[in-house]
Amino acid sequence: MGQAALVAAAEPPLVRVDGFVKRYGRRSAVAGVTLDIRHGEIYGLIGPDGAGKSSLMKAIAGVLSFDAGSVEVFGTSLVSEAAAELVKDRLGFMPQGLGLNLYAELSIEENIDFFARLRLVPAAALAERKERLLAITRLAQFRGRPMKHLSGGMKQKLALVCTLIHEPELIILDEPTTGVDPVSRRDFWLILSEILHERGATALVSTAYMDEASRFHRLALMFDGRVLAEGRPQELRRRVPGVSVQLRAGRQAEALARLSSRFAQVQALGAWIHVFAQDLDAAAADAEIRALLDDIPLDEMSSTEPELEDVFIASLHQKTAAPFADPASGQSFAAVRPAAADGAAIEARDLSRDFGDFRAVDSVSFSVRPGEIFGLLGANGAGKTTCIKMLTGIIPPTGGEGSVGGIDMRRAGRAIKQRIGYVSQAFSLYTDLTVVENVRLFAGIYGLTRRETEDRLAWTIANGGLAGYEDETAGSLPMGLRQRLALGCALVHRPQVLFLDEPTSGVDPVGRRQFWQILFHLSRVEGVAILITTHYMTEAEHCDRLALMYAGRIVADAAPAELKRRVAEEAGGLLEISASPVLPALALLRGSGFTDAALFGEHIHLLAADADAAGARLHQLLSQAGMTVGHIGRRPLSMEDVFVHYVTRLERGEAMQ
């Protein structure tokens, strides 16, 4: 822990929460949470929708009353509206949702000016602050653009500027990176860290992305209104002993079943299998896995320290909803008209789509085989959703051709819709209808008989973990259950092709893993072709193949392991640097030629062609600048590293033209 952190730990907490309870009618949203937030730190709340994060944050911001316990901010107990008003000038609150606190018709600059007037920022101070914040967020050149025409990442940067314009001491950000692409997420975290360092402010940030946990100084893992565990990221890892094992085995589905009989956390990641071997060291895990697989060929196997997602799920124990049945044990939902094993289930050939003068999709080509999970990755506005809408017949292409299930998408009409299932980003269910009513409605749309409808309803309830929720409205379900219901409705007619547009946004890790268990069975056992878009880079590992989209074009198309190999070959290995003070260290490294260096909590990550030589150079560079160097070591490349590398390289190329 650095000297600044030690000083902060010795000071009275900036925020103190004790026994906090919030109820909505008979439902308990938060049940007895106790925590404190120290001066100068970034404190994280991690958990799914419905965990209680937003209720807790709103109470700390003084905009929500509560039913029991106490909340103290800046030494003031928030026991009344009058007490809350005493602290509001000293804090900034950014609510959940892309740009929901902004005004769509106003430009970037007009939004900033509006919030400045609302916060009584003097004109002279506003001019200086606005220019500095526009520069650091790289929004200066777009100051006249209306908010409604901004990408998701730009909206969140503008929302952050508007939250910071009155220079609050405490910044409260509710899921600021949900729905934002990885490049914009990295930008967002760097901007926040620099501003906090500059002004000595404190931040409380919530997220549903488990991979963001390493960016917090301390964090609380929340589920169902309670704190499961709290502490620094490394402390939380040490509290759940075990190792994460990655392996490739022949007869993958059989290997997965055998490993699941022994280990609680087993999941398929494309051609790989991930196992969390709790309470075992690397040698013991290796021996047990080899014994379980026995006659199954084992290609590769390695172990690392537990992921925080493994820790989160292990911490849940039995506190989550009962797991749904293994899809393999239920009835088959094989396609009515299976695609030929050697043909393409989805094929795009030079697909293009224009909206006025803007080309959203530019000559995109790819194919997806039956039984393959194919991922489309890209920044907000890259053209992913437009591709899906063309292939599913929702919008016509400007140019090019495509086929789904062997049928031409331009001329198929209803025939193509009988072969596909679609879970859209914005609308998949009727939220005011019950679970049963939604399934029956979709069955009616697809022309199922009464008997077929009842069979598919029974399958959806059993395999979606929806028993006991049959008469609940879709809108009242937890996000994970809602998405499994949406998947069941999309599969009600047994399609041979499944399109999923960011289906797990806001879903907790357990729900995501259960969702992917169904997708694995669909692809491997039933031969369904799946095309999915996602912003969870860890989910990209589940795909057999990935296409990376940038500005409407596909710029890379390969298996996840191959994409990592290409990046390692082109840019080198990934190094993690522990140095203090971290932000000056980051600035020094970027100024010394390591332009892709990125902040990860209290560490710095960068790619280096010769990792060993670069490590020695980095140590010398930082030491000569009077900085304290902890460790410099290798880390495996993640799909986020791959995504950011490709996109930033393309952005730099465009900037040089």
Confidence of residue 57 (pLDDT cuts 50, 70, 90): very high
Residue 468 lies in a domain: yes
Residues 553 and 599 in one domain: no
Domain boundary among 182, 212, 234: 234
Residues 216 and 246 in one domain: no
Q: What is the pLDDT of residue 132?
A: 86
Domain boundary among 558, 584, 605: 558
Residue 326 lies in a domain: no
Domain CATH code at residue 252: 3.30.70.100
Give how many domains the chain has, as a whole number. 4
* 505: enclosing H helix or E strand: none
Sign of the torsion angle spanned by Cα atoms 231, 235, 240, 245? positive
| Residues of the chain above pLDDT 90, percent | 44
Q: What is the pLDDT of residue 515?
A: 82
More reliable by pLDDT, 536 or 53: 53
Question: In this structure, which amino acid lies at residue 195?
Answer: I
- Write the pLDDT tens digit of every residue in 181-228: 777 778 888 888 888 887 889 999 998 777 788 889 999 999 889 998
Predicted confidence (pLDDT) at residue 3 exceeds the cutoff of 60: no
Instruction: Tell me the H-state helices in 363-445.
Output: 384-391, 414-419, 435-445
> Edge-to-edge strand order for the sheet containing 358-368?
358-368, 346-355, 399-404, 407-408
Confidence of residue 9 (pLDDT cuts 50, 70, 90): low
More reliable by pLDDT, 94 or 503: 94
Confidence of residue 654 (pLDDT cuts 50, 70, 90): low
Q: Report, in angstroms and rounded to the nearest whole number, the Rg of the chain calculated over CA atoms.
A: 25
Q: How far apart are CA 507 and CA 515, in angstroms?
A: 10
Domain CATH code at residue 640: 3.30.70
Nearest by Cα to 159 from 198, 205, 220, 111: 111
Predicted confidence (pLDDT) at residue 258 exceeds the cutoff of 90: yes
More reliable by pLDDT, 428 or 334: 428
**Start-to-end C-alpha separation, the chain:** 44
- Write the pLDDT tens digit of every residue in 134-180: 887 878 889 999 998 887 778 888 998 999 999 999 999 998 887 67
375-400: average pLDDT: 87
Buried b (16+ CB within 10 A) or exposed e, 316-333: beeebbeebeebeeeeeb
Q: What is the mean pLDDT of the chain?
A: 86
Residues 352 and 430 in one domain: yes
More reliable by pLDDT, 292 or 525: 292
Q: What is the pLDDT of residue 613?
A: 86
Question: Residue 206 forms beta bridges with which residues?
Answer: 45, 174
Q: How far apart are CA 168 and CA 74, in angstroms?
A: 12
Residues 85 and 180 in one domain: yes
Predicted confidence (pLDDT) at residue 324 exceeds the cutoff of 60: no
The range of the structural domain enclosing residue 499 comes to: 346-558
Q: How far apart are CA 568 and CA 555, in angstroms?
A: 17
Q: How far apart are CA 398 and CA 410, in angstroms?
A: 11
